[in-house]
Structure 1
């Protein structure tokens, strides 16, 4: 097969269990133009440089198509898909109740609560002989954490799984597919989740709690506040991004360790290695595989001219396995030094929820690893989610 079909093959569901041979093919090809006109980049140094290049836009409105062909979400993107200075303005407003400089201790102060939620979930598994790591543990943990951060009542947490699955499905990259119905369903889910979160926040205006939605509507900082539309898109983004990637990180971690009993035993004997093991998981089996960008002018990437506005797909997971950057890249090594992976992206759009995801993964795996000594996978490979960008098992059945 030729390099111009790589994106089509990578996003083919049949290759979801193991896209890594295709990433190796991509790195050999260099910058690969695809049959749909997009360009695919899979080498570490090129991806890292592009993520820091001000000539590259995250904003889909800079794609070289008529605005009439852009979806409603593309015309009104969240700050994750915006460029500076608007990206920085909205990111700063979103960060105020979450992290430094305004709330420097917020995430670290949640360690005890995260450990408590983890203990509750672990307790419920005590007498089980078979579990689904996704449904029984990896999904409920980060969803409960982000809902508590935002101030979503516990009884409403189940509402978000359907909305979130539909939104993530609508955002996937699938070359050559007519996505009208998928986008329509995504719009409905976005509207439903956004309306719910804004209404919840408005009920707390003037009566603030210690949650983030209360902080957003009761913030009188002279630097500005979020409009209703900005609040809706930001809250939806935080809720989805706050759990989707962490579900994959925890699940991919369990799958990786069950496939490597020597490393599982090593971490059981040396739990102090967990922080570096999570970093290695973010490199070896990252929750986010691809990001899309758009050149603001014609530009050269590794000897290939990319025309202005052409979709540029950065295969982060391929960069994480680049032998020109990482020694023995296909080996899982929880003590790997100099592990500057692309698991959370890089540049101005570096995932700002990364500190929370790291804590959740460390606590979750720390609780699960002692129980996995005699465990085995019921199905390998397990069934994967449809999405190629946010790659992870949909279910992970394990016999304990």
Structure 2
């Protein structure tokens, strides 16, 4: 656990981030047994144990804080440009009043009661997409199912034409690579082009609502902003872009992993077919077992001691959700995928904690639950031909191809 630093302690072992990119779970487990903290660069540390991760998250404002946008850009090595400006402005990388102001723009739209009321519409979208899936031939499940449900729903909620979802999601998948512990500088030109296109796309829709409001979330958002412009228009655009990214890419990978994990063990697939009451537990377990968000990034605002190591004020603290949710101190038999698990905490760690907890948590859960129910109803004989893998250990992790067949 974390305490104020009082004595000199050994430095944490240094680990090359490249060792964790392809298959992070086994090395993280080996490291976690002997080290609660590892060093990943000059003054950059990763906490691996559940107790430390939870404690550091709970200490926000009292020894730790969320990295501000400009700090995150510097830490991650994002070159100057539109991507850096997006990350600098987005609500996730803000604190205190700045965070409350940006998040508050969406508080009413993402209220639990309002999102819960969308469940029938989400199910209708999922039913239509499952009905369109090929029968009798293999296909990429992520492209034809997992990507479409969240993209069509975020489009429907915001008021974007569903027909444009395939276009803006291609930009989303490029830009999401920017949220990585090691920024892919070699792909910066592609990321910048996609980010520019995505920002221009959202800006055009917001400006259209300024002159001709419609009955949708974008109109409500921009109308409220016009009456009380608490942020600049560019910052408003960046908040919507960030929501589109978060609402499209993370659920896409999470849903594919949910279905793959269930199909990989036929007993689980048959269990949820027989008892739909197991669906919420299956969703929660998939989010734990292969989380899309591999870590959260904080800064130490004072000297800390974590798992016996002194970490100076100003340290970058990467809190490994991937490692913490495989820690036997948090979960019994953590390497077993168990859809009947009863030891999930009330607030699932996959969505973060505190003021920065994911604003779209309920939407993501409902999309996965209703997507799975639609698949079980209309395509119960689906089989897995190529199992996907989750790559990376932090930021938004990437998923490999998933091949399935129906009938």
Bucket of the pairwise TM-score, normalised by the shorter protein: 0.7 to 0.9
Shift of the alpha carbon at 1:35? 4.4
> What residue is the counterpart of 1:151 in the other structure?
159
Shift of the alpha carbon at 1:384? 5.2
> What residue is the counterpart of 1:30 in the other structure?
36
Q: Mark the runs of 5 or more structure 1 residues left unpaired by the alignment.
A: none
Determine if contact 1:150/1:212 at 8 Å carries over to the other structure: yes
Residue number among 330, 352, 375 corresponding to 1:368 in the alignment: 375
Residue number among 292, 302, 307 corresponding to 1:302 in the alignment: 307
Determine if contact 2:20/2:392 at 8 Å carries over to the other structure: no
Determine if contact 2:78/2:178 at 8 Å carries over to the other structure: no
Q: Does the residue aligned with 1:141 lie in a helix, a strand or coil? A: helix
1:160 aligns to 2:165 (yes or no)? no
2-side partners of 1:201 and 1:64: how far apart? 26
1:173 aligns to 2:181 (yes or no)? yes
Task: Note the 1:126-137 alignment, pairs <5 A.
Answer: 127-137=135-145
1-side partners of 2:53 and 2:284: how far apart? 19
Q: Does the residue aligned with 1:219 lie in a helix, a strand or coil? A: helix
Shift of the alpha carbon at 1:52? 2.4
Q: 1:135 to 1:146 in 2, by over 3 A?
A: same
- Cα deviation code 1:164-202 (max 9, x no counterpart): 12211222223xx7x444344433332321222122111
Q: 1:46 to 1:199 in 2, by over 3 A?
A: same
> What residue is the counterpart of 2:357 in the other structure?
350
The alignment covers a number of residue pairs equal to 386
Determine if contact 2:72/2:93 at 8 Å carries over to the other structure: no
1:207 aligns to 2:212 (yes or no)? yes
> What residue is the counterpart of 2:147 in the other structure?
139
Normalised TM-score (structure 1): 0.88
2-side partners of 1:240 and 1:152: how far apart? 14
Determine if contact 2:39/2:46 at 8 Å carries over to the other structure: yes
Q: Mark the runs of 5 or more structure 2 residues left unpaired by the alignment.
A: 1-11
Q: 1:387 to 1:233 in 2, by over 3 A?
A: farther
Normalised TM-score (structure 2): 0.86
Determine if contact 2:157/2:217 at 8 Å carries over to the other structure: yes
> What residue is the counterpart of 2:278 in the other structure?
273
Determine if contact 2:76/2:181 at 8 Å carries over to the other structure: no
Shift of the alpha carbon at 1:344? 0.8
- Cα deviation code 1:116-155 (max 9, x no counterpart): 1111111112634323210110001100000111111223
Q: Does the residue aligned with 2:395 lie in a helix, a strand or coil? A: coil
Shift of the alpha carbon at 1:207? 3.0
Shift of the alpha carbon at 1:314? 1.2
2-side partners of 1:331 and 1:350: how far apart? 26
**Greater mean alpha carbon deviation, residues 231-240 or residues 41-50:** 41-50
